[in-house]
Each structure stands twice: as structure tokens, then as C-alpha cells.
Amino acid sequence: MAVNIIGRSEIIALPEFEIGQIEAKIDTGAYGNALHCHRIHVVHKYGKEILSFTILDPSHPEYDARTMSTEHFNKKRVKSSIGVSELRYTITTTIIMFNKSYPLEFSLTDRGKMRFPVLLGRKFLKSRFIVDVRYKNLSSECSKANQK
């Protein structure tokens, strides 16, 4: 099985949210994936639960203040990097990295104080990628090379 080498951070796309480039931290210490959101809440409409959230925040260049909503979500208990367990909403969406699409589950959380708005954990990385911390953004270099 072929695996790609990735750096300690990568540029990904989130096409379902019309985000063409966003930085993601590659975190082999984290199990799951996380996406920076705010105003995360459930509303009840027509007898259904709808998860409503805004991706990123006004300080991020890709922020556009759009409120997203979906009926397709779950709740999961997630342990933070400091060991605190919390219940988070999760969604499944597609990322593009190395010109390939991957459906991923993301927990939605406020990462406003973190350097990277997206975190990709080892559940996604396993059997797909080898992380070489000497590098950054190898996927964007691959995309540039393919455009030539």
C-alpha cells in the first residue's frame, strides 16, 4: 500500500463549505479531527433537530459569516489535549488534500485560541500518511506541481 509523506501542517480544502485553502495541523497525538466553529447549537424545526454552526471566526481570512446547518450530525465524548472530556457535535464532510477527496468526521469546537483552525488526527492519518515534521504544506506543493 502506497502512503504519502506529509508535513507537520498541510493546506486542505473544504469544498462543501466553499473553503479553497485552510491550514490544518497534523497531530499524531490526537485521535480524531477538529474544525474551528462558533455559534454551535441545535435548533428544532419541523419536528427535527438541526445543528447550526458558523465555521471559523471573524479573525480568519476565509471567514464569511455564513451559518451552516445539517440534520446529519452526532454527539461524541472527546478528550481535549489537556485531558478534559467534553461532549461535542460531530459532522462528516469532505476534505481535499494531495488532489484526493476524503470523507472525514470532524468534531466542532472553538479553536480560536489555537494556531490552526483544523486538526487532523491519527484516525485519518493511519495507513494513509507518514508525517515528517521537517516539512510543511507538502500537499499544496503537490497541487502547484499538478497545475503546471
Superfamily holding 4-147: Acid Proteases (2.40.70.10)
In the chain, domain spans? 4-147
Please report the pLDDT score of residue 121 as a whole number.
97
Which pLDDT tens digit goes with each residue over 64-75? Answer: 889 999 999 999
The pLDDT assigned to 147 comes to 46
Give the chain as a 3 state SS string: CCCEEECCEEEEEEHHHCEEEEEEEEECCCCCEEEEEEEEEEEEECCEEEEEEEECCCCCCCCCCCEEEECCCEEEEEECCCCCEEEEEEEEEEEEECCEEEEEEEEEECCCCCCCCEEEEHHHHCCCEEECCCCCCHHHHHHHHHHC
Report the pLDDT averaged over residues 13-23. Answer: 94
Q: What is the pLDDT of residue 8?
A: 97
